[in-house]
Structure 1
């Protein structure tokens, strides 16, 4: 009997040690851990989760997990659980995804969410590990900015070299044109009979030198074309979601109803990832700034098939809309309505989109704000 008691005590001590070790691990891991039941109610909220979301555990236990989600996920979450229970179709369990979460103060931030499932004696629980991507994406953005600065410096140097070479190459035909035209003027001003043959020769040579100058410029354009940015197949939904999350960093994202909708037919596009995200960041930040004083802050990023094998991407908001006086100069550099803006974001976006073989334009959105549209090439499914 004593042996059985000793074994029971040993098992109890081992279990207590295991629980203490597990508790220590959960208290120190940097990722947040949240456990919910089948009805979406929070049953466990780790210390890291408390720091990340700015809630105490007592504030959230028994509450629906949707309180930590921005719209429209907040309204849809219970439906996701119900669909999984009814059909067994897993949306993110065992897969993980990039999405957004909502702090106690209402601000939105980008996260990486990994979801698992536990079935203990008929009780089904879902575990979510959450990683705040703000610092990582800020670091990635800084690296991208540094790379862009280096690339810009390289382009400035290259443009200086090209400008010098272009000036040197064009100087000769332009000088020749000036000389032939001056000779023609002197012939016209000379007394006596006009030497039409010599005047005609001067005009012919001027025309030939002008054509030569045009050829030099065309050759330069062809040279620049051969240096086009490398594009490769990229998942469009991920690009839009990550670009929007990056745009939210450092902005007031509280109360924004954001959604990303991508037609399944246009899953991938041919793009330079960094450049295309720069376009998305510019458009999303413009939308967030425009909606600053709007009673409803609606932001929609969508993509659908367009003509000629293209994909049309739309970034629409519920802001005050475009000033008609700005519509003609919308993409002109250094044109802006912002007090502290430089007016180059849309110009850069236009350059990037056109460099991808697409076009960009703006229309009124269905919520009274602005919808920016741009097109991209679809990626071949077999590429």
Structure 2
């Protein structure tokens, strides 16, 4: 019996030794884990004094672990964060003996490190007295910086006057900034609002058919859309971006909308101002062409008078003459009346005000109309216009009145430049097919030319080489050409010693 008891005792001792060995190995393992982790593991007394600190203190704070033993952690807290902890700020999370706080902790060098610490208090089961506090702390400085950056961006988005919308995959608005909420009466909550509530039908169709597919492929899109305001449609420049990256929900988009009503209004005013100046220039041009207008009107009026007098004399000589015998003079009178009416319509069309509206126009018809307006002035100066072009029935995209005004300005400028030279006899007009989609009308004069250093200045408003000139003709002509999608330039003439003005137009 005694031997059996001794065997049992030895077996029990062996089991205890194995258990102790296992405990020692587990202790070494846990010690190795604590010393190897990049998080700071620490144990504190009830007053916050360090009782233990892992090796991570060396990398995170610059302290050797032994340097922290006996030091109160509260002495190293940032004062504002220590106040949060002692006053149980809502920013200190607590649940069932666990505390979690994000705070600043002073390193050995004096700078503060952002820590996120999870603490576990241990208490005496019998008395409830605090025994110690176990803490696991990690450096969250980079995360804090990212969150602060995001918060700054969120504040900018919230305070901007642009309308910022966040749209889910189904096309509903789940969030918006303050400006968008006020303008479109959107809720602050996450209640979904359809895009049709804030965008016009045409813009909504563009978003669904073009914009969102383009953003899915390229990541972003920008262009002009229209939004529904309580006082009417609002033109906006929109930037649409897809949400990409870690944590981004698929199919989500951000829509930044900048109100351009003021810009549109300013552009409309500028266009009206330009149209008024162009109209004034046409009136001034007609003032210079008064003699030509009188000539254009006198010719049909004189012909009408001659035919009418002839018919009257014929009737007086032979009152019984059949009406058929008067068909020829009456036909000629009708022809001249039609001609007179056409010339009046042309003059009225030329002086009317209105914006440029490009359409398909026969080029040489416009050139001929401009030439007829300038012809009398050329005859008075004993000059002629020579035209050279091989093609006929060329059509361009232009406003006929605006293009005629450009040609009249160029022809009159060429006339004034050429008449200064005693041997000048003509101005040359030619058409060059530049590319498949454009052509250039050249007007070459025999004047003194435009020096290289002045070629950029001649298109400035109020720049004139004539004492009586206003300096508006070329400036307006360039503006009109650009409004029609073309261009106007000046260079040295390859034909004469004068200048060449070139008007580039889009072919129709």
How does the TM-score come out when normalised to structure 1?
0.42
**Between Structure 1 and Structure 2, whose CA radius of gyration is higher?**
2
Larger RCO, structure (CA 8 Å, separation 6 or more): 1
Q: Pick the structure with more helix per residue.
A: 1
TM-score computed with the length of structure 2 as normaliser: 0.33
